[in-house]
A and B are shown apart, each in its own frame.
Chain A
Amino acid sequence: MIINHQILVLGGGPAGLNAAKYAANAGADVGLIDSGVRLGGQYWRHTGDISVDHAMHHNFDQGSLLIDAVLTNPQIKVYLECQIWSVSIVNDSIVLRSLFQIFQTQKLIIATGAYDRSIPFPGWDIPGVITAGAAQALLKGSGVIAGKNIVVAGTGPFLLPVAAGISRHGGNIVGVLEAAYKTSWVKGITTLIRSPFKIVEGFGYIKTLRKNKVELRFGHAVTAAHAGADGLLESVTVANIDRNFNVKSTYSLKCDVAAISWGFTPDTSIAGALDVRQRVNHDGSVIIEVDDDQRAIQSNALIEIYAAGESTGIGGSELALAEGAIAGLAAAHDPGISNQLRKLRRRAQKFAHTLSKVYPVASGWQSWLTSETLICRCEEVTYQTVREAAEELGAIDARGAKLMTRCGMGMCQGRICGRSISDLFDGNQVDRIQFASRPIITPITLGELAQEGLL
């Protein structure tokens, strides 16, 4: 079955929702595709039970209003639980394939969002070590607290809502460890002042943590995890680190869950398959390059591809909403993209840029690795193996290391380790972009692939 829409939006988070809404309000016929069971993406992930959802989110009103607006808009057809496994350009049309449908369009808006950035450290493969996003998804999506004694660690503004959310719902947070120094907040303070909402939001989380007597430490990180006899997480090594992430001193902390994230990595998996121009952002992540109308750069004049939200650079929900609105209007060829909207986007971009400077991931994390530390979780490739590829076999980039050691070749196709491997090799632009390209976005069976009518 082939489904045609004037505009297809891939991803139902803030950017995709707003893109669909604005495009539909401008008169376009829109298809909105998301792999989840409910709209909202990671940011507005919810259980569907209204009383629970409003308790879980400090600010779910905005999200539920937007989701309702999209769901009730007759111009928008929503496709949920629709996992796109491949995208390509066939006869000057964009074709997206899910297991049960084939979508065809001339205009695609990529709003595939981002996922937690992880960096390897000894023991990060022990059950109980999860990402902060996983803890958040459990809480917001299933109403479950990830463990009995939870450490939240890493860097970035996302750690606070995760810890506060767990704490507010009765979970025991044994520590929040922010790698950034408290004083580095000063660097971003001028921009922070211009976004009073964010300040209020941040203070709200800190108030929750204080009220529940949760310790928030700056300049600290989890640098190793340790399993008990049952193979499950029992404790972590917490290090007092310098600004370059080198360890100054350590202590041990008992916990059964360590939720650790180092910011986010944009998901641009499909951009490579569409030959859309990508570049490496200042934080080392690969992003889709867009113009002032959120339009991506590619060579086929008969199609239009736009990108909005985290896939164009990590920026948070306000930026995603602004970019989504602009992308939706531009794709619908609505001339009314207001200066106000562009101004809103510029402000959010500035804020995001400042935040990323406040929460840098310094290269000192590489000193936490031991020779046995897994770099690639899927293929179980150790740091020593990767180093040998570099020193003995002449691997000079992530691609070479991948082909020689299988790091990044496993089930996640390098989504988790790719960025770290590129960092280990100080990889260049081409290498990073190549590593982030995944023409088969998600596994499908060969039987499904073999079906006729695939295009």
Chain B
Amino acid sequence: MKNNPDAIIIGAGVIGVSTALELTSAGLKVLILDRGSVASGTTSAGEGNILVSDKEPGPELDLALRSRNAWFELDEAIGGGFELEAKCGVVVARTELGVGKLRRLTTAQRQHGITAHDICSDELHELEPNLSPSIEYGTYYPQDAQCQPMLATARMLSSIKNRGGEFISGATVTGILVQGGRVSGVVTNRGRFSAPVVINAAGTWAGPIAELAGSYLPIAPRRGFILVSVPTRPLIFHKVYDADYVANVASNNSDLQTSAVVEGTKSGTILIGASRERVGFRTGIDFTVLRILAQQAIELFPILSDIQLLRAYRGFRPYAPDHLPVIGEDPGIRGLWHNAGHEGAGIGLAPGSAQLLSDGILGKSSFMSSDAFSPSRFTAELAK
């Protein structure tokens, strides 16, 4: 690198690259490092969800709503090419208890700016003709959207490169340089790089990166599987999932939680997510999990019973104990910023998180307070 960058971003996933794009737009010169290539971690292992429907009122919902709109602005700004689609969500409830919970959630969400139409049988089956006839209640979320995260990240990265930013793949960070409580650069297998600002956007692997600087982030992997069908004629037209999914996302149980999220894609395949398990970085495929996902998907859409499964893949979502992302400056090391721990919502939350972090670095006021996401919330835990 001829000139020292203004900021080094560790991780070329959707979070790191959208942060770098935000900083580039603000006039900073960025250097992005990744031990793999662009979007080679969790970013490429998800469905590309940009959801507001699955969030309970609170700071994460505010962040999700801003991000959702920012995705559409970004689509305009960089000329598209990442399959952004206002796919819309349909959340269904199958039990009386579920209906009650869903109606309470939508009432609260509407007060926070979410468009959520409570719908009944006829409307529901008009939206999704193949939905099980036994399902009578649901909510329609027109703001839920979707993109192809790999392409989105790659397109953002090429926009950054066009504006003078740099990316080095295959660069594993082995050390973070700190002098007098201030970060000064990083050490990698590809050399040493100096910058006054270092951003930890290493996702599921953000904990070990924080450790390199002598800091602490309790981010751990939560394993998820996704089933992919063979291409079919269009059968499912929105993102459809059971209201129980919201409870699963927020669950603190380490056991397996599954709640099928079913959707058709432009390529003709049907995707079925999403399991959540805390089993570390366990490799291999657990066929019990796949079976449960298939069962739940068929309960929603009986027609899927005859559709063939083609592939299954796995990803590790980065989660923090309180399920909120970590966005902000390290409490102990000046100039070290974290943007990680977005769990299964990283694609959806990326542009908002990037904006929040960038505003923080530049000392500007932002669209919302980042207090709830502050890395300092773990300091008390560390003291124990």
Contacts and interface: CB of A to CB of B under 8 A. Distances in A.
A389 B291 CA distance: 35
Interface string B208-231: 000000000000000000010111
Contacts of A86: 285, 287
Interface stretch (B32-40, B85-93, B177-185, B344-352): B32-40
Interface stretch (A177-185, A245-253, A415-423, A439-447): A439-447
B286 to A, nearest CB: 8
B291 A394 contact: no
B154 A446 contact: no
Given A403-B44, A446-B298, A89 B37 contact: no
A446 B227 contact: yes
Interface in B286-342: 286-288, 290-291, 294-295, 297-298, 304-312
Contacts of B285: 86, 88, 273, 439
Contacts of A455: 287-288
A403 B46 CA distance: 11
B308 A88 contact: no
Contacts of B151: 393, 404
B78 to A, nearest CB: 12
B115 interface: no
B303 to A, nearest CB: 10
Interface in B65-99: none
A275 B284 contact: yes
Interface in A418-455: 438-440, 443-447, 449-452, 454-455
A409 B266 CA distance: 14
B230 A411 contact: yes
A379 B294 contact: no
Nearest to A399: B40
Give the residue among A392, A410, A447 with the most B Cβ atoms within 10 A.
Answer: A447
A394 B158 contact: yes
Given A396-B37, A403-B39, A445 B307 contact: yes
Contacts of B174: none
A88 B291 contact: no
B157 interface: yes
A188 interface: no
A394 B154 contact: yes
A447 B267 contact: no
Nearest to B229: A446
B155 A393 contact: yes
B311 A449 contact: no
B204 to A, nearest CB: 17
Contacts of A445: 305-309
B227 A439 contact: no
B283 interface: yes
Given A413-B311, A446-B307, A454 B287 contact: yes
A440 B312 contact: yes
B44 A450 contact: no
Contact of B308 (A393, A409, A443): A443
Interface size range on B against A: 35 or more
A400 interface: yes
A379 B267 contact: yes
A234 interface: no
B167 interface: yes
Contacts of B157: 393-394
Nearest to B283: A275
A446 B308 contact: yes
Given A446-B227, A446-B297, A447-B306, A395 B311 contact: no
Contact of A446 (B150, B167, B304): B304
B305 A396 contact: no
Contacts of A404: 150-151, 154
A396 B169 contact: yes
B294 A446 contact: yes
A97 interface: yes
A304 interface: no
Contacts of A409: 311
A154 B158 CA distance: 39
A396 B167 CA distance: 13
A365 to B, nearest CB: 25
A403 B310 CA distance: 16
A214 B219 CA distance: 68
A374 to B, nearest CB: 16
A28 to B, nearest CB: 27
B277 to A, nearest CB: 15
Contacts of A443: 230, 308-310
A368 B23 CA distance: 43
A431 to B, nearest CB: 10
Contacts of A394: 37-38, 154, 157-158, 167, 169
B8 to A, nearest CB: 18
A455 B207 CA distance: 34
Give the residue among A410, A446, A452 with the most B Cβ atoms within 10 A.
Answer: A446
A12 B351 CA distance: 54
A267 interface: no
B235 to A, nearest CB: 12
A77 interface: no
A397 interface: yes
A97 B37 contact: no
B150 A450 contact: no
A440 B294 contact: no
Contacts of B306: 445-447
A275 to B, nearest CB: 6
A413 B310 contact: yes
B79 to A, nearest CB: 12
Given A411-B230, A454-B291, A440 B310 contact: yes
Give the residue among B231, B283, B285, B286 with the most A Cβ atoms within 10 A.
Answer: B285
Contacts of B291: 449-452, 454
Interface string A245-265: 000000000000000000000
18 contacts: A86-B285, A86-B287, A392-B158, A393-B154, A393-B157, A394-B38, A394-B154, A395-B37, A400-B150, A404-B150, A404-B154, A443-B230, A445-B305, A445-B308, A446-B272, A446-B304, A447-B304, A447-B305
Interface of A: 86, 88-90, 97, 273, 275, 379, 389, 392-397, 399-400, 403-404, 406, 409-411, 413, 438-440, 443-447, 449-452, 454-455
Given A86-B287, A394-B37, A446-B309, 19 more contacts: A88-B285, A88-B286, A389-B154, A393-B154, A394-B154, A394-B157, A411-B310, A413-B310, A440-B309, A440-B310, A443-B308, A444-B308, A446-B229, A446-B272, A446-B298, A446-B308, A449-B291, A450-B294, A454-B288
Interface of B: 37-40, 44, 150-151, 154-155, 157-158, 167, 169, 227, 229-231, 267, 272, 283-288, 290-291, 294-295, 297-298, 304-312
Top 4 A-B pairs, shortest CB-CB distance: A447-B305, A393-B154, A443-B308, A450-B294
